[in-house]
Structure 1
Amino acid sequence: MKVLSVFGRCSQLPAFYKFTIVGVIALILIATLQTGPVDFRQHWDKLRKPKKHGLADGIPLRVMFIGASMTLGEHSTGNRGFRKQVRDWLVSQGNEVNYVGQNRYGNFLDNDVQAFGAQPIKPTLERCKEIVPQTQPNLILINAGSSDCFQQAHWGPAFILQKMRHLVDYLFEASPRATIIMSTIITSPWDNVEDCVTSANAQIRQVATDLIREGKPVVLAEMHHDQGLPNRVEKKHIGKDKMHPIDAGYFLMGDIFIDSIQDVEEKGWLQAPVNNGVPYDGEAERHAEMAKSKEQIEEKPDEQAKTEEDKVEVKPNTRRRRNM
C-alpha cells in the first residue's frame, strides 16, 4: 500500500520532476545491468544536454589539441584526459568531429592529437609546421608551457610570451579558418615550478589579450585557481607524480574548454573547415582504416604464397644458367 501511495504522489508531480525521477532510475538500472565500471557523469550529461542541431549550424569540427603530456591525458583513466570528454560533448551537440594531429594517444577511437610528452613550446611550433598545413583544423585548443616549467634547466619561463605568440601567429597563417582557444597552465604542488607557472601564465594571458585586441578569433581558457574563478584544478587534484591531474582534475579542465567552445560559438567565430580531403568524422575514418588493414592482413598470406611460387620457378632457371 505504501508503494502505491508513493506512485500516486509521483503521478501528481509536474512533468519536469517526473522526467528527473525517471532519469535517476534509468541511471541506477544502467549501473545495475552493466558489468564494467559506470561513468555516471557521462550518462547524466546525456540526460541534461540533449543533442541539438549542432554548433555553428552543425558545421564539421576538425579539432587539434596542442601541448604536451597533460594534453595527451597521461596518468588519467585510459589516458583519455579531457580530450574524450570534449569530443563526446561536441558530438552530443550534433556536429561531426575529427581530431587531427601527428600522434595517437588514449583509449578511445578518434584519438589523434598534436601533443608529445615533455614537449616545450618551441619544439611544439616546429612540429606543427609538419602537420597543420595539411590538416588545417578549424578549432585549435592549446595547453602548452607546463613542460617549459618542469624543465627549467633547459627552458623555464623566459621568452614564453614570444614563443607562444610565434606559435599562434603561425597557426593562423597555416590554417586561416581556425578559431583558437589558448589556456593557462594549472597549478603545481612544487614551489619552484609554481613560480614558473605564475610567470608563464602572465605571459600567456598577455598574448591572448594582444590577439583579442587585434581582432583575432582567440579566447583564453583560464585554468589556474589564482584568478579567483571557481572549479579550477587545485593541489588536491594533482596525482602522485606531482605533475598530472587525477581524473577529477582532467574533468575540470575539460569543462573549462567546453565553456570556451561555447563562448567562441556564441561569438560566431567558428567557420567550416577547408575541403582538403580530410574526413569530417574521425571515428568513421578510423573504422575505414581498420577495415583496410584487415583486408591487407587477409590478402597477405596469398601474396606470400605467390612469392614463394615465384621463388620456386626462378631457382631452376638460375641453376641452369650457372651450369651453362
Structure 2
Amino acid sequence: MLLRQSLFAVALALFPGTYAGFSGKTCRIMPLGASITFGVGSTDGNGYRAALYNLLAADGNTVNMVGSQKGGNFKDPDNEGYPGFIISQVTDKANAAMPVQRPNIVTLLVGTNDMLQNVDVGNAPARLTTLIQDVLDAPPLTLVVLSTLPPNGDAATNTRINAYNAALPAVVKSFTDAGRSVVLVDSHAVVAVGDLVDGTLICSGCVRLRKHYIFAFH
C-alpha cells in the first residue's frame, strides 16, 4: 500500500490531475519496446504486462493487449516487444504495427539496447522523439506512456542510461506543449540493480515496474 501511494504521488506530481478517475474505459494497449517489454528475464515471461492488464481491468476498464508478438503465460500476451532491438528498429516495427493493431494507448520502454551498444547515444532522444511522433500520428492513438530506462549493472552503460533518462522530460514536454498526451513514468526510480537477472533484464523488479505503469493512467 505504501508503495502504491508513493508512486501515485510521483505520478500526480509529474502530471497533476491528468488521468484522475481512470475507469470504465476501453483500453486497446500496445506494449512497445524490446526485451523488457517482451518479458525476457521475468519468471513467467509476462514482464509488466499481465499485472498492468489485471490492475486496469480491476479498476473497471475493458482491456485488450494488442501486437503481433506473443509472450508470457497470461490470457492476453499480445505485444510489440523485440528483444535486442534498438530505437530505430522498434520505430520500424511500430510503423508497421500501428495501422494493423490500432491501439489507443501505447506503453513504451525503449533505448536500453542503444545504451548497451553505445549507438549514437547523444542523438538517442531525437530518435525517440521520431518514434513517439510516428506513433501519435497513427489513429486512433490517444495516449503514450513512456518509461525511463531501468539502471544497468555495467557502469559505463549506466552512465549512458542516466544521460538518456535526463533528456526524457524535455522530450515529453515537447509533446505536451503541443497538446499531445504523452506521460513519463520513472521506472528507473523503482528498479534496483539487484533486481536484474544479468545486469540488464528485470526479474523481481518487474513487480514494481508493472505496478508503476498503472499510475500513469490515473
TM-score under structure 1 normalisation?
0.59
Please report how far the alpha carbon of residue 85 of structure 1 lies from its aligned counterpart in structure 2 after TM superposition: 0.6
**What amino acid is the match of 2:212?**
I
TM alignment of 1:253-272, pairs within 5 A:
253-262=209-218
Counterpart CA distance in 2 for 1:79 and 1:96 is 23
Please report how far the alpha carbon of residue 253 of structure 1 lies from its aligned counterpart in structure 2 after TM superposition: 0.8
Q: Is the contact between residue 181 and residue 218 of structure 1 (CA under 8 Å) also seen in structure 2? A: yes
Match of 1:178 in 2: 142
Match of 2:179 in 1: 215
Please report how far the alpha carbon of residue 206 of structure 1 lies from its aligned counterpart in structure 2 after TM superposition: 1.8
Kindly indicate whether residue 140 of structure 2 is the aligned counterpart of residue 140 of structure 1: no
Counterpart CA distance in 2 for 1:108 and 1:205 is 33
Percent identity, aligned pairs only, is 24
- Report the structure, 1 or 2, having the larger strand content: 2
SS at match of 2:183: strand
- Report the structure, 1 or 2, having the larger helix content: 1
Counterpart CA distance in 1 for 2:74 and 2:211 is 19
Kindly indicate whether residue 163 of structure 2 is the aligned counterpart of residue 199 of structure 1: yes
TM-score under structure 2 normalisation?
0.86
Higher relative contact order (Cα pairs below 8 Å, separated by 6+ residues): 2
Unaligned runs of 5+ in 1: 1-54, 226-231, 263-324
Kindly indicate whether residue 196 of structure 2 is the aligned counterpart of residue 238 of structure 1: yes
**What amino acid is the match of 1:259?**
F
SS at match of 1:75: coil
Counterpart CA distance in 2 for 1:168 and 1:175 is 13
TM alignment of 1:142-157, pairs within 5 A:
142-152=108-118, 155-157=119-121
Match of 1:80 in 2: 46
Counterpart CA distance in 2 for 1:73 and 1:223 is 15
Please report how far the alpha carbon of residue 242 of structure 1 lies from its aligned counterpart in structure 2 after TM superposition: 1.4
TM alignment of 1:60-71, pairs within 5 A:
60-71=26-37
Q: Is the contact between residue 71 and residue 77 of structure 2 (CA under 8 Å) also seen in structure 1? A: yes
Q: Is the contact between residue 142 and residue 181 of structure 1 (CA under 8 Å) also seen in structure 2? A: yes
Please report how far the alpha carbon of residue 156 of structure 1 lies from its aligned counterpart in structure 2 after TM superposition: 4.5
Corresponding residue to 1:95 among 61, 65, 76: 61
**What amino acid is the match of 1:191?**
A
Counterpart CA distance in 1 for 2:141 and 2:46 is 27
**What amino acid is the match of 1:111?**
P
Please report how far the alpha carbon of residue 203 of structure 1 lies from its aligned counterpart in structure 2 after TM superposition: 2.4
Residues 221-275 of structure 1: CA distance to partner in whole angstroms, max 9, x if unpaired? 01223xxxxxx11122222x1111222x00111121011111xxxxxxxxxxxxx
Please report how far the alpha carbon of residue 63 of structure 1 lies from its aligned counterpart in structure 2 after TM superposition: 0.3
Please report how far the alpha carbon of residue 176 of structure 1 lies from its aligned counterpart in structure 2 after TM superposition: 4.2
Structure exhibiting the larger radius of gyration computed from Cα positions: 1
Kindly indicate whether residue 78 of structure 2 is the aligned counterpart of residue 120 of structure 1: no
